[in-house]
Structure 1
């Protein structure tokens, strides 16, 4: 660079500075006004909350808040407000954002007297292998007598309650979240019902197939059913893509999958957050005749989904032509595959699924596809137990599960819990893990089991309840001499954050699934003390088993095809298709959780940059040169496929198996499945958890047979490393470990 270029660069920098300053002032002004309005709203809520007939639900709807937020502002509206059943609209009624049902009222956890859980016999001694709490006793080798409670007089070490204060686990000034609980007495009993006229039934129609095209915006290569062309996309704006693509392909191509290029990130350097860059790209100028889609259909949604990495843009031309631009990253990482190979992967995926579903249609996302395929496994034969459909739990129970059932375990363990330097770095990832935990789920309306009801049970009845599909509010005491990782999730600061207390002698209150409670009681090292405060117990059923078995068969067939096919492109296509099957199951399970609906949208700024009004109840999430982006919590919809009890059960079982679970290989010493997991590695060697993976400083020697749930070594650094203390450092080591292990095999 010479002095002339440097001077020109400084001039350009000053221009950018001058553009930034007025926008910063505008944003600061908006934020100040927003803070004042929020303060005024909160004051109004507090004032109105003093009215003797005030209802948290009414205030929440009027204020654009959740019921939990209202109760936080006016605590008197919490435990004293009985839960009321919602109205009974027709199951075919749609629910608009304005009419969305409010969140269920959150009740602060009290500290009732708990009923101690019985000591359960471990399935195996730790010197051999650990018990499989995470499988909810899936192994066929485990007999009824293995599940029996320990007989009176048996030698079981039970930790004593802690008398010393627990060690702090949250930063100063931050408070752990208080999880909701079921109200006491009749108010809580009224939560235990199924939504009227709302069941999961087998559909009586076939989905409409959508024609697809696959586009690499970096090279301009477009592939669709009729052939391959290379387009001039310019800067790959929405207008340029729509113009170039539909000058080449027919109007009945309704989905354009981006395989590479990520055009929505082209201005990422100008924004603090990726979502802002995505929103700017989605809301860019359109060709004449095009507009953001406004109509809806059975499998079509209107408007854009502003996601930082896998956004969905929806547009229409006239009344009849509709199109979506989506990222193929929703389905799998294309790993450099060209558009032709990606299209071949979708063809292979469709063929593999069609062996089990003759009416299969690949929908826009793996989650939509997964739910649709599952719905076509619902019993329909006369006389089948659930021929009338699976009932949907009450809104109150769904809200409780949403607030108290987390997903995958994400934890980075840093010094001083582990050394600052470790002898190695190893990543062991569970193959197709969630497919291992779908063999049984809770069905029907749950039975509430209070502490008093649990205490009144015989030990056999208590054991039966703990081994059933269930969700428990528990008081947990960690053994004083415990020196390994935490076993049960507890609420941490943050809207949905969880951590895993591990300090010996610590006592805490939380909610946990039956699989994790079993693991705490039956873990191979030392049982934890569990007191039952409240719980929900479902009847055992297998609503996911047929669906999961079919997906597992498709996955196995595609993996086998990827190993033996003679054409390299087809091998790669089969590998990608097998990963798509994994996404269908993984995200399909996620759709059962039915989180509150988050609606996003954007509005164009005024002619002089004025910020327009956003919809009632929405909050401002981004500001670009041309648009503001907003977000609104729409509450829980009357979704006939809402089954958070199933998602919560799978997640709980997967978290438990991350600590101790079976592999697909028999242990020659016992004839039972060999066990693996974090508790089978030395204390102090666990460095991190990431959903289905364990990271340690000791190389695991667990057997791998390629079956769902088995641990595959995915990364290995066999020399001393500095222990990561941040996510950035973690991901650097993760990448280095995977590259090093791949190099070992060459």
Structure 2
């Protein structure tokens, strides 16, 4: 089990540092890692092991000197820090080396004597902060999050990131008795590699004219609330069976339906039906930079891999069935390895959302909101961590020793002193690596963006229930439409929530940047209209 780590919260824009109940203002000089570590440990004891940056993005401080922001971040992380060196790790649960990320990097340092280790991390890993979210609010958020998690996990520990925390909490729900008391079987490296190559995550697609009008009558953002939590009620367990085309064809119609409703991953040949005039349903490998696209032109035939929920949606959508031929498949027994974990997180999320709603003090309302977003991140990134993609190691080599850079490494940055590189290391053995769980949830979430049944209201929601030509974009858990929908929202995971609304006429977005600008404007406009009413 993990142990708690003493943490401080630092706004590098203002120099305000919060350590427990104490607030101090520091002089951070050039905002380098060296300046931050020197200033922080001049003020707090060496027992502090984690520094959360709440504002200021110090790793972007000299960004103008570099052609790419990633280079600036790598240079910031790898700059010399007198008295410290890059952490080389300790024990099987400790991560080593810096993590280069444009927005939320992680700096891992240890003193030269090896007796003290510390991480510099971004609070942006957990939630989006706004102006006015000072370090004390972030401290209160983490304290509230910890208190709420301990209602279900008395020994809960908040780790450095949502994904680490999610995985750690899940290990505390592994059954102590029964078939899987010793853990759930891990797939072969071959099957894990197949899932990594053929099971994508969220649907991100921008639909442009002439498929939609050049001038939109409006743009509405419908986001599925806490979406992935809706799809954790069953997951693949055990050793899968391979299903050949002959085996699938020999089954009765009910057996085929049961298989597609079950936990499977299918290699299929798909044909878009004649007369189809709506969005694509199944993902297909795409050339160029995009990993996936969604063919929609009538008569198009393509071959792809897809999860059972999406294949079922293609065969049983509300408009007309697509032709789907099973070429191969992998089918698991259905189990509930995530149910208890997800139930506890959903309950924690609901409690925090209620606290936010009923809290009269604005100063206390904000931590409740941020903590509920953190719970969402724990589940979202916890699921992603089960995918366990091939590991990528980042390292540095002095320019004078350029020949020592690994032959299969990719150079991701350099300056006058060091070369920064990253190197794939393949799959590390992990008893909790389960890409089949992540793939099943992602497939269910993509299918629900298209069609989702609401039993209590006996109605459907999703893009295929909107008019043809009214879908402007998909973005992970959200669909962007040109007309309003009366889809039910009962504050439950998976329900569609109207988050933004712009009235037209609007020029249809032709890039992700334009879409995000309209999204942000729509959220502001909707919030303003609700205040007026």
Partner of 1:48: none
Partner of 1:457: 251
Higher strand share: 2
Distance 1:692 1:386, change over 3 A: same
| SS of aligned partner of 2:267 | strand
Tell whether 2:484 aligns with 1:699.
Answer: yes
Whole-angstrom distance in 2 between the partners of 1:297 and 1:227 = 32
Tell whether 2:79 aligns with 1:284.
Answer: yes
Whole-angstrom distance in 1 between the partners of 2:262 and 2:65 = 53
Tell whether 2:239 aligns with 1:445.
Answer: yes
The partner residue of 2:415 within 610, 624, 635 is: 624
Partner of 1:408: 202
Partner of 2:176: 380
Residue 627 of structure 1, CA deviation:
2.3
CA offsets, 1:621-678, max 9 Å, x none?
A: 2223432211111111111111010000000000000011134x732xxxx3x32110
Whole-angstrom distance in 2 between the partners of 1:616 and 1:396 = 25
| SS of aligned partner of 2:528 | helix
Partners of 1:366 and 1:587 within 8 A in 2:
yes
Structure-to-structure mapping, 1:163-182, within 5 angstroms: none
Partner of 1:214: 9
| SS of aligned partner of 2:110 | strand
Partner of 1:339: 135
Q: Pairwise CA RMSD of aligned residues?
A: 1.3
Residue 743 of structure 1, CA deviation:
1.2
Whole-angstrom distance in 2 between the partners of 1:662 and 1:212 = 44
Q: Structure 2: any 5+ residue segments left out of the alignment? A: none
Whole-angstrom distance in 2 between the partners of 1:360 and 1:494 = 43
Partner of 2:61: 266
Q: Structure 1: any 5+ residue segments left out of the alignment? A: 1-205
Tell whether 2:513 aligns with 1:728.
Answer: yes
Residue 564 of structure 1, CA deviation:
1.6
The partner residue of 1:642 within 429, 433, 438 is: 433
Whole-angstrom distance in 1 between the partners of 2:265 and 2:499 = 33
CA offsets, 1:443-473, max 9 Å, x none?
A: 0001110101111222222122111110000
Tell whether 2:382 aligns with 1:588.
Answer: yes
Partner of 1:67: none
Distance 1:716 1:495, change over 3 A: closer
CA offsets, 1:230-262, max 9 Å, x none?
A: 101112111110000000011010000000000
Partner of 1:351: 147
TM-score normalized with structure 2 length: 0.97
Partner of 1:114: none
Whole-angstrom distance in 2 between the partners of 1:550 and 1:439 = 13
Distance 1:529 1:629, change over 3 A: same
Whole-angstrom distance in 1 between the partners of 2:403 and 2:251 = 61
Partner of 1:252: 47
Whole-angstrom distance in 2 between the partners of 1:683 and 1:495 = 27
Whole-angstrom distance in 1 between the partners of 2:92 and 2:372 = 27
Whole-angstrom distance in 2 between the partners of 1:451 and 1:426 = 42
| SS of aligned partner of 2:73 | helix
Tell whether 2:337 aligns with 1:543.
Answer: yes
| SS of aligned partner of 1:577 | helix
CA offsets, 1:547-590, max 9 Å, x none?
A: 00000000000111112223322211111000000000000000
Structure-to-structure mapping, 1:87-106, within 5 angstroms: none
Partners of 2:6 and 2:50 within 8 A in 1:
yes
The partner residue of 2:350 within 556, 564, 570 is: 556
The partner residue of 2:456 within 654, 663, 666 is: 666
Residue 418 of structure 1, CA deviation:
1.4
Residue 598 of structure 1, CA deviation:
0.8
Partner of 1:521: 315
Tell whether 2:151 aligns with 1:360.
Answer: no
Whole-angstrom distance in 1 between the partners of 2:246 and 2:473 = 38
Distance 1:719 1:496, change over 3 A: closer
Partners of 2:86 and 2:97 within 8 A in 1:
yes
Partners of 1:314 and 1:325 within 8 A in 2:
yes
Whole-angstrom distance in 1 between the partners of 2:350 and 2:176 = 27
Partners of 1:660 and 1:675 within 8 A in 2:
yes
Partner of 1:425: 219
Partners of 1:604 and 1:612 within 8 A in 2:
no
Tell whether 2:18 aligns with 1:227.
Answer: no
